[in-house]
Amino acid sequence: MFKGLGNLGNIASMMAAFKDLPQKMQELNARMQDEHVRGDSSCGRVFVIVNCVGQVQSVNITQDGMSKAEIEQGVLEATNAAGAAAKQTYAEAIQAMVADMNLDIPGVDGLLTSLIGR
């Protein structure tokens, strides 16, 4: 009688998991504030550390012989690289959280892909 309903049998468990979602997201955000990634410039003389919610934690510049323009370019490259790494780490953490909660949400992978720009 209920064969045509597909995954509707899972709705009750999904609804229970959804009620836990705000708390899980708060925990994830707190963890991501404490997790850090590094981005390096192409010249290798600048690196930036950001946490996984995108806040810059430190900038390191070895400026020996570098012009102002080279330093600026290095900071730009390293910051963008660190930001991309932070987005990737955050997206992977959300995917893991969704999987752990057994939430089969159609389109979540596409949404995360669009958020990280890949």
Are 66 and 45 spatial neighbours (Cβ–Cβ below 8 Å)?
A: yes
Q: Is it the case that residue 85 has pLDDT exceeding 90?
A: yes
26-60 pLDDT, tens per residue? 999 999 999 999 999 999 999 999 999 999 999 99
Residue 73 — very low, low, confident or very high, per pLDDT cuts 50/70/90?
A: very high
**Closest to 46 in 3D by CA, of 78, 12, 92:** 78
Q: Is it the case that residue 116 has pLDDT exceeding 70?
A: no
Q: Is it the case that residue 81 has pLDDT exceeding 70?
A: yes
Mean pLDDT for all residues in the chain: 85
Q: Is it the case that residue 2 has pLDDT exceeding 80?
A: no
